[in-house]
Amino acid sequence: MRNLRPSVQIAMDTKNKQRNVLAIDVGASSGRAIIGTFDGETIGFREIHRFSNDPVVINGTLYWDVLRLVYDIKQSIRLAAATADIDSVAVDTWGVDFGLLDKNGDLMSNPVHYRDARTAGMMEKSFEKIGREEFYKITGVQFMELNTVFQLLALKDRYPDFPGGIDRLLFMPDLFNYFLCGVKVGEISSASTAQLLDVRSKTWSDVLLDRLGLPKKILPELVKSGTVIGSLREEICGELGVPPMKVIAVAGHDTQSAMAAAPAKEDDFLFLSCGTWSLLGTELDAPLISDRTLELNLTNEIGFGDKISFLKNIVGLWLLQESRRQWAKEGNEYGFADLERMAEDASPLSCFIDTDDPVFTPPGNMPERIREYCLKTGQREPQSVGEITRCVNESLAMKHRATADKISECTGKRYETLHMLGGGTKAVTLCQMTADACGISVSAGPVEATILGSIAVQLIALGEIESLSRAREIIGNSSEIAIYKPQRADVWEQAYKKFREVTS
């Protein structure tokens, strides 16, 4: 193993030189590559490649098309190098999913999508080996059947010789890093989504692995966010016709990358990373684990600088993304702006759904499931596209309120501002609804929080920015931030009571 250098140990060189770094963000439905430029005071960025991420069903299993993603990552590097001198490259993705390598370092099969049905029942099976309370007190992670630990139990249940020929498990950003530079390590923010870490020691939990009968030998060596792990492989440089560049393990889990970009000036704040998932919480110096946090199913994830993101995963804009796919099948293509306009004409606060109800997890006809949920709970059934869109947005805003209340209860703190980050900030209506539902100011932006977090961590690793707090200050000064103040507090408070009734 080559010497891995945490960001704090990297010496600065050519301090006065403009730095260009390449941030590649691979999301659950699409990816983009952006060149970040730092002149010592501000961060600028420009997109140079965008690509789709389309899962594939084969023999009833839902896979990620990982080879196509590698192709687009390579094209991102080629296009970036053609327009600027690139100092480093970094990849972030969603959490929990992974690829498996054999002893030769070859990928054994395409990684399976977290929405695949293989994990059904695995959580309950795990509680036969280790109690829910002990499980949670080790990991501090929210129980969700899609977590890595339950995916591994599904493999063990399906294949009697598991782990068989598996030599190494790499989480998705680590897998892409390995393809780029040949180093097999596990970056801590992605690893913390697995529900296999002892969150206090930040190491793999021997107790948990032993009880569940899972092999520690396949798990990667852990490194901190912001570690330079290697350089672009010579053969990739030759293939693409690009010069060498550093490969940096940033906060590989996209939520933690976005968190690094939260332009908060206050010590105590709420954040909401809003995209396919809504992840709402606060930043702490140490894990918060108690009987109450277990009851509320809150999670402690590790971010840049060993900060703890104390949060809850909420199903987010997936509901509208999947609804759009259904409407497209029916011959109607709607953009998100179109949906917002149609929602304005729908009756406000007339019906709600529990966005986290398992019925909304799988792909498929989402509008029909929303109608059925409302009908089953004795509410008016939304019919039009605008009515369904409004139902989803208002339900998400209410879910944000419910989660913010839980976070505040557990920390014992009152928050004045919610920093809303990511693509969801483009949904002006949802931003305002979230402010209305939560009764606090919403600071929306930056839109490209995940990308800016990756850029910032790379610049810290390269010695160009001295700290996370300074990076956040620079990002705040470099970004457009919109402020939403709560309105009609009494109306939303009354509607919140109805939401609680139909979703409890």
**Residue 428, H or E segment:** helix 428-438
Percent over 70 (pLDDT), the chain: 97
Query: How many residues appear in the chain?
Result: 504
* Nearest-angstrom CA–CA distance, 86 and 464: 14
Give the pLDDT mean for 194-198. 98
**Does the pLDDT at position 139 exceed 90?**
yes
* Nearest-angstrom CA–CA distance, 395 and 389: 10
Give the pLDDT mean for 148-171. 97
SS3 22: strand
Q: What is the pLDDT of residue 16?
A: 53
Give the pLDDT mean for 427-432. 95
* Nearest-angstrom CA–CA distance, 245 and 74: 13
Chain position carrying tokens 């809003």: 274
SS3 131: coil
Give the pLDDT mean for 287-309. 96
What's the distance, CA 232 to chain centroid?
25
Among 87, 92, 254, 436, the one annotated catalytic? 254
Q: What is the pLDDT of residue 95?
A: 96
Q: What angle do CA 205, 26, 225 make, to 5 degrees?
A: 40
371 in Cβ contact with 381 (< 8 Å): yes
Q: Is 331 left (phi over 0), alpha (psi -120 to 50) or beta?
A: left
Q: Tell how many helices (H) and how many strands (E) occur in the chain.
A: 18, 21
pLDDT-based confidence at residue 275 (cuts at 50, 70, 90): confident
Give the pLDDT mean for 125-146. 97
Mean per-residue pLDDT of the chain: 94
* Nearest-angstrom CA–CA distance, 26 and 51: 9
Report residue 319 as tokens. Answer: 């509901």
* Nearest-angstrom CA–CA distance, 362 and 115: 6
**Residue 380, H or E segment:** none
- Which class for 52: exposed (0-12), middle (13-18), buried (19 or more C-beta within 10 A)? exposed
* Nearest-angstrom CA–CA distance, 175 and 183: 9
Give the pLDDT mean for 216-240. 98
Q: What is the pLDDT of residue 15?
A: 47
- Picking from 89, 24, 94, 22, the residue whose alpha carbon sits closest to that of residue 55 is 94
**Does the pLDDT at position 100 exceed 80?**
yes
Which residue would you say has higher pLDDT here, 301 or 266? Answer: 301
Report residue 485 as tokens. Answer: 């103040």
CATH number of 262-445+466-504: 3.30.420.40
Give the pLDDT mean for 136-148. 97
Bond before 160 cis per omega within 30 degrees: no
113 in Cβ contact with 64 (< 8 Å): yes
**Does the pLDDT at position 7 exceed 80?**
no
Q: What is the pLDDT of residue 4?
A: 44
Beta bridge partners of 246: 88, 231
Beta bridge partners of 424: none
Beta bridge partners of 302: 308
Give the pLDDT mean for 321-336. 96
Give the pLDDT mean for 229-242. 98
Output helix, strand, coil percentages for the chain, rounded to the nearest 5.
40, 20, 40
Backbone angles phi, psi at 170, to 5 degrees: -130, 130
Backbone angles phi, psi at 173, to 5 degrees: -65, -35
* Catalytic residue list contains 254: yes
Instruction: Say what the pTM is.
Output: 0.89
DSSP string, 298-358: -EEEE-GGG-EEEEEEEE-THHHHHHHHHHHHTT----HHHHHHHHHTSPTT-----TTSG
- Picking from 306, 300, 111, 311, the residue whose alpha carbon sits closest to that of residue 195 is 300
Beta bridge partners of 312: 280
pLDDT-based confidence at residue 282 (cuts at 50, 70, 90): very high
**Does the pLDDT at position 8 exceed 90?**
no
- Which class for 75: exposed (0-12), middle (13-18), buried (19 or more C-beta within 10 A)? middle
- Which class for 88: exposed (0-12), middle (13-18), buried (19 or more C-beta within 10 A)? buried
* Nearest-angstrom CA–CA distance, 383 and 151: 37
* Nearest-angstrom CA–CA distance, 464 and 460: 6
262-445+466-504: same fold as 18-249? yes
What residues does each domain of the chain span?
Answer: 18-249, 262-445+466-504
* Nearest-angstrom CA–CA distance, 85 and 381: 56
What are the tens digits of pLDDT across the range 30-47?
999 999 999 999 999 999
**CATH class assigned to 18-249:** alpha beta
**Does the pLDDT at position 410 exceed 90?**
yes
Cβ atoms < 10 Å from Cβ of 174: 27
* Nearest-angstrom CA–CA distance, 397 and 316: 10
pLDDT-based confidence at residue 106 (cuts at 50, 70, 90): very high
Q: What is the pLDDT of residue 73?
A: 98
